[in-house]
Structure 1
Amino acid sequence: MEVNKEAGYLNAGDAQYTASLGDNETSAIWAKYLDAHNNRDMETIMSMESDSIKIWTPDGRFIEGKEAHSAVLTDWFAAASPKWEEYFSLPAKVNWENQPGQWVLSGSVVTETIEGEEVQQNHLIDAYIEDGLIQSFWVYSRVLVPAK
């Protein structure tokens, strides 16, 4: 697969770096990560994360490290039983020596069960993956309102 076709840019400080289409293997890593979440497979989830993972949630929280993430997930799984249904994934490579890994832009419908009622959200993820491990990701969310 060609990964050198320019497809955007990243502004970092005073510099701008081009971005290229990434490798689909990066998208496959993210899909496997979501599957592990759906299966509540904490061992696989933790094995796919760097020890110093950094996560920015849509409610403004910052989670740092596997231990902290494991605790948050354990509570969330028990409280809301979230399920992910990914509907798109786009791998990208920023052409900058300080970012040897690749990014995944991913969209999923996340269904939670809260007090017996299903609530769906649309999640957009920016995830950075390096050396096969998820290093960081940002979650952007919008509640889906049922059609009338």
Structure 2
Amino acid sequence: MEKDKKIVIGHEFNEKGDKLNIISGDVGLTDIWLDYIQAHNQRNLDKIAEIDSNDIEVFRADGTVGKGVETHIDVLSSWFETSNPNWKVIWMVTNSVQKADGSIDHWLTTGNEFTDAVDGEEIFMNVIADVNFVEGEIKRINIHNRAKEIK
């Protein structure tokens, strides 16, 4: 196999219905995500803001959307004051989408275990996040949650 040849691993359909190639992505993005999660677990808002793009968009599982780094940091700051959220990365995979105009979108999809304590009761969720990176910064996060398995 040619070293520089990109392997198509799937497809994305744009708004027009065009079928776009998804290719294997930049594994280096996993290091940025691990730093980002560590910053969340350590309540390091400066580091989080450094990794966020100025116009980050966070599409949360509850349907709310946070726009802009200042809003993101304000929401996290308030949350961290009243709660003790913790994330553990379980898996990550990167991919890139070749757009019709020749540009490339870089994504990381990651599965994480999330725990928190609310009013003394522990919460556990499985969280999958689709994370869009632009020039090494996080531009967009789509968050999907699933509650802990009932036994």
TM tier relative to shorter chain: over 0.9
Q: Distance in 1 between matches of 2:133 and 2:102?
A: 13
Q: What stretches of structure 1 of length at least 5 have no aligned partner?
A: none
- Which of 128, 133, 141 pairs up with 1:124? 128
Equivalent residue, structure 2, for 1:61: 64
Alignment partner of 1:111 is 2:115: yes
Larger radius of gyration: 2
SS in 2 for 1:24: coil
Equivalent residue, structure 1, for 2:82: 79
Compute the RMSD of aligned alpha carbons. Answer: 1.7
TM-score, length-scaled by structure 2: 0.91
Q: Distance in 2 between matches of 1:90 and 1:113?
A: 29
* Number of residue pairs matched by the alignment: 147
Alignment partner of 1:51 is 2:57: no
2:110 partner letter: S
CA contact (8 A) 2:39 2:45 kept: yes
Q: Distance in 2 between matches of 1:17 and 1:6?
A: 10
Quickly say closer, same or farther: Cα 1:9–1:50, change in 2 above 3 A.
same
Structure 1 runs of 4+ with >2 Å offset: 97-101
1:6 partner letter: V
Q: Distance in 2 between matches of 1:90 and 1:3?
A: 19
Equivalent residue, structure 2, for 1:7: 9
Quickly say closer, same or farther: Cα 1:2–1:69, change in 2 above 3 A.
farther
Seq. identity, %: 24
TM-score, length-scaled by structure 1: 0.92
1:134 partner letter: I
Q: Distance in 2 between matches of 1:10 and 1:21?
A: 13
Quickly say closer, same or farther: Cα 1:17–1:113, change in 2 above 3 A.
same
Q: Distance in 2 between matches of 1:140 and 1:3?
A: 32
Give the C-alpha shift of residue 123 in structure 1. 0.5
Q: What stretches of structure 2 of length at least 5 have no aligned partner?
A: none
